[in-house]
Structure 1
Amino acid sequence: MEIVQASISDLKEIMCLIKNCVKKMNEEGSNQWDESYPNEQVIKEDISSGYLFAAKFNDKIIGIVVLNHIEAKEYSDINWTDSQGKIMVIHRMAVDIHWQRKGVAKALMCFSENFARNNKFTSIRTDTYIENEKMQSMFKNLGYKKVGQVFFNNGKIKPFICFEKVL
């Protein structure tokens, strides 16, 4: 497996991966994502900004992650540990439904941490839906600390748990 910066030619394959993930999440009772988010425009912007990275195996995209410094406005209410450093934020991680539970998400997280260190970030922030216990468990196992929760979509869905790892 290799993890590379995605290109616009990957858009269709990435959207297919996301669509399948959304379908599976919804079938499992999670409404974290839906057909309107993350949409093609959001992903296109992630790619054109150079923020979207794709895990590939035999040239097939098996996972994605978005890495940047852009914090959701909802993060301002969280009492973060690293309040003065250079912050990286992990957004929109997804793993192909046939590759889940095979170490792809962990590989994306290791890549993200190395990316952060190599680019002189002092901490990493992220969030995950309160019902996404697999991601919460992975974050905890990788040394991320739970620091609070936020509501997106004007509170129309359950809260998201915020995590931070100081590097």
Structure 2
Amino acid sequence: MNMLVYMRQAQNNDLVDIVTIIEAARFYLKQQGINQWQLGYPNQETILNDLNQKNGYVLIAENQVAGYAVIVPGEEPNYTKIESGHWLNQATDYVSIHRFALSPLYRGQKLTQRFMTAILTYFFEQQVIDFRIDTHPKNMAMQAVIRDNGFTRQGIIRINEGGDSSIRWAYQVLLA
């Protein structure tokens, strides 16, 4: 099936669609027995902050918001300490990819791959070559997206999600 797919910066009028996507992702993770995002994070306030900081991006498919991701430039505090491994470099001018989610209406159409490729391409064109991301050790679907886009696992980081300290697998890719 041919469909127009592209990425753009998220806008305030995308909020309802983004929150819907995040809630569907939260439910999907729960169904998979994954405790990621189960303690109220991310929520509407988180998304509004993303939008205000101009860090939110949406994937558009068939003129609908089909996916959401946050790309944060600069040093990520949760990434400063890495266990059972190390980052490929000590740079702090990387971007972190967070809250990567796709609407269930578009699952199985390989749009997560296209979304990640769009992110990497867009930021590479802005001279960014260092990308970092993390996910829950049980989130096999996201791990596949990450690996299939050239990221390699570098170690473990710890995050505080809703008061719960949890481990996440940390990944990185350097583009040249």
Question: What one-letter code is carried by the residue in structure 2 that aligns with 1:55?
Answer: L
Alignment partner for residue 59 of structure 1, among 63, 81, 85? 63
Aligned residue for 2:32? 28
Per-residue CA deviation, residues 29-48 of structure 1 (Å, 9 max, x unaligned), is 11101261111111111112
Question: What one-letter code is carried by the residue in structure 1 that aligns with 2:144?
Answer: S
Alignment partner for residue 145 of structure 1, among 149, 152, 155? 152
> Which runs of structure 1 show a deviation greater than 4 angstroms over 4 or more consecutive aligned residues?
none
Please report how far the alpha carbon of residue 74 of structure 1 lies from its aligned counterpart in structure 2 after TM superposition: 2.5
Per-residue CA deviation, residues 89-112 of structure 1 (Å, 9 max, x unaligned), is 111100011212211111111011
Aligned pairs for 1:6-155 within 5 A: 6-34=10-38, 36-78=40-82, 79-84=86-91, 86-153=93-160
Check whether the contact 1:68–1:88 (CA below 8 A) recurs between aligned residues.
yes
Give unpaired runs (5+ residues) of structure 2.
Answer: none
> TM-score under structure 2 normalisation?
0.87
Aligned residue for 2:9? 5
- Distance, in Å, in 1 between the alignment partners of 2:88 and 2:98 is 19
> TM-score under structure 1 normalisation?
0.91
Identity fraction in percent:
22
- Distance, in Å, in 1 between the alignment partners of 2:48 and 2:78 is 23
Please report how far the alpha carbon of residue 71 of structure 1 lies from its aligned counterpart in structure 2 after TM superposition: 4.0
Per-residue CA deviation, residues 100-145 of structure 1 (Å, 9 max, x unaligned), is 2211111111011112211111210110111111211222222111
CA RMSD of aligned residues (A): 1.8
Question: What one-letter code is carried by the residue in structure 1 that aligns with 2:87?
Answer: W
Check whether the contact 1:62–1:99 (CA below 8 A) recurs between aligned residues.
yes
- Distance, in Å, in 1 between the alignment partners of 2:26 and 2:90 is 33
Question: What one-letter code is carried by the residue in structure 1 that aligns with 2:127?
Answer: K
Check whether the contact 1:32–1:157 (CA below 8 A) recurs between aligned residues.
no
Aligned residues: 167
- Distance, in Å, in 2 between the alignment partners of 1:85 and 1:6 is 25
Aligned residue for 2:169? 161
SS at match of 1:151: strand
